[in-house]
Amino acid sequence: MSWNTALPLLVLCSSLVPGIIIFNLPEQRQSLRTVLNLAGAATKLVLIGFMLAGVARGERYEFRHAILPGLELVLHADALAMLFVTLSAALWFLTTLYAVGYLEGAPNRSRFFGFFSLCVTATVGIAMAGNLFTFFFFYELLTLSTYPLVVHRGTSSALRAGDFYLAYTLAGGAVLLTGVVWLYGLLGQVEFVPGGTASALGPAYANQLRLIFLLLIIGVGVKTALVPLHGWLPRAMVAPAPVSALLHAVAVVKAGAFGVVRVVYEVFGVALTQSLGLLTPLAVAACITIIWGSLRALWQDDLKRRLAYSTISQVSYIVLGIALYGPIGTIGGLVHLVHQGIMKITLFFCAGNFAETLGVHKVSEMDGVGRRMPLTTAAFSVGALGMIGVPFTAGYVSKHHLSDGAAAADMAWAGWVLLTSSVLNAAYFLPILYRAWFRRAARSWPNEHIARRGWRETALLLLFPPLVSAIAVIVAGALADQNWSPLSWAKLIAARQYMLQDQ
């Protein structure tokens, strides 16, 4: 086996192997568990660094293993895969640091970190899937590995949320499987290729392809939280803060959005999807979700639920960008896949800090927290302003390209939806910042008597990750034109996609 063949498998195993070992560690082996977690996360980053440089040079990294005749497990590193896998690995490292600090002294840590590693393994498998079968396999593995994280606390509300999560995601998986089997029946093995494998089918298959597309989009739309498939996401906020960060920024909803990208660009091909009249309905579904999520966020007093509805809205920006026919919209959607991740993980890290250090769970309880926890609140402010789309933040770059993409695609109404959403973003984020910075502090907070010692704000492992991700929000916005930026990589992917479509 050559290095180029083995590298995708090694990237996958860098989280799988530590996770298997962690499952079998006794609870008291905290130091060894932490070393395994961080070593796996660091190893994954190094391996992905090698692969990222190689893909930029045009190197080919691919692992294939036959499961049955005509059915292969394929891990393939192309430019699109590297966008998602790099985001996942970088944010996994930060989330691991955060989770180690957050769960200090908590029960069942070996179980938590074992499933945590398995969840990241599934996410990386989704990112590097080279065909539709491999994508489906890891997509369902992600469902099974995240369920124990959602119900980790074992409370009645956590168990109900877990049941709701399974009902939605397993039903979505069944619909997805129906579409996968139908398409395999028509084409045989469905590889992910720019231009789309389904483009080989003639006009006689148009109606079947429309139905298959609908099945696939519903299947991935559950995890993407498209309205009306979104109901599981706000309920899942009973999970610990590291799990919420994982669900919203690294794994589940991002895997669904990435699935939409693969289906449109590399299963059907954007030209075929457009010719079948499917892009406009997809854009309409995304716009409905954008506005609905924003409106629902306005009325949430629970901070994590407000952030959850914000995610429902913001992830559909990615879907909208993919549905805008043309490279500019594609760039906006793809770069928002990264930018939404770093902004949302910042917000959830900070929400976890407020809850753990001060016992603050609601927006109405946040008066004066900026003076008690200024660094955490500053990081939260950066993430919130990025979500609104303030200049020099990552969110501004995404929204600027999406708006230009809507104009270029002659879909001005989508541009108005984006503008309305930004106004609504400001309406549900700015009151939080006003309370935190300008309202007089409460006399005491629920957890003030057990506030963590050492740092004035909170434990260092809880403070460091949101500060790093908040800096990344500013860097990604202010230095967006640099060759190494997510925007530049999104432009590379869009150029390759549309160059091949035009041939």
372 assigned to some structural domain: yes
Cβ contacts of residue 60 below 8 Å, gap of 6+? Answer: 4
pLDDT of residue 399: 93
Query: Helix (H, G, I), strand (E, B), or coil: what is residue 193?
Result: coil
Which residues on adjacent β-strands are paired with residue 131? Answer: 191
271 assigned to some structural domain: no
4 assigned to some structural domain: no
Which amino acid belongs to residue 288? I
52 assigned to some structural domain: no
Which strand (E) or helix (H) includes residue 76?
strand 71-77
CB-CB contact of 500 with 194 (8 Å): yes
Residue 84 to residue 78: CA distance in whole angstroms: 10
Which residues on adjacent β-strands are paired with residue 64? Answer: 74
Q: Which ranges of 225-326 does DSSP label H, i.e. alpha helix?
A: 232-235, 241-245, 252-262, 270-275, 279-298, 303-323
| Per-position pLDDT tens, the chain of length 503 | 687 888 999 999 998 999 899 888 877 777 788 888 889 889 999 999 999 888 888 888 999 988 888 788 999 998 889 999 999 889 989 988 898 888 776 677 788 888 888 999 999 999 999 999 999 999 999 999 988 888 877 788 888 888 888 899 999 999 999 999 999 989 888 889 888 888 888 788 889 999 999 999 999 999 988 989 888 888 877 777 788 877 777 778 889 999 999 999 999 988 899 899 999 999 999 999 999 999 999 999 999 999 999 999 999 999 999 999 888 989 999 999 999 999 999 999 999 999 888 888 899 989 889 888 999 999 999 999 999 999 999 999 999 999 999 998 889 899 999 999 999 999 999 999 999 999 887 656 666 544 444 446 888 888 999 999 999 999 999 998 888 889 988 888 888 766 655 44
Q: What tokens appear for 444 in the block?
A: 């005491």
423 assigned to some structural domain: yes
Domain region containing 357:
278-503
Which residues on adjacent β-strands are paired with residue 76? Answer: 62
pLDDT of residue 4: 82
Which strand (E) or helix (H) includes residue 323?
helix 303-323
Cβ contacts of residue 87 below 8 Å, gap of 6+? Answer: 250, 254, 337, 338, 341, 342
pLDDT of residue 307: 92
What's the number of domains the chain is made of? 1
pLDDT of residue 442: 62
Which strand (E) or helix (H) includes residue 222?
helix 206-224
Which amino acid belongs to residue 363? V
Residue 251 to residue 342: CA distance in whole angstroms: 13
The number of residues in the chain equals 503
Q: What tokens appear for 131 in the block?
A: 């065909």
pLDDT of residue 452: 46
Report CA torsion sign: 387, 298, 294, 353: positive
351 assigned to some structural domain: yes
| φ and ψ at residue 131, rounded to 5 degrees | -150, 175
Cβ contacts of residue 469 below 8 Å, gap of 6+? Answer: 91, 94, 342, 345, 346, 349, 379, 383
179 assigned to some structural domain: no
Neighbours of 2 (CB within 10 A): 7
CB-CB contact of 8 with 75 (8 Å): yes
Q: What is the DSSP letter of 205?
A: G
243 assigned to some structural domain: no
Neighbours of 149 (CB within 10 A): 26
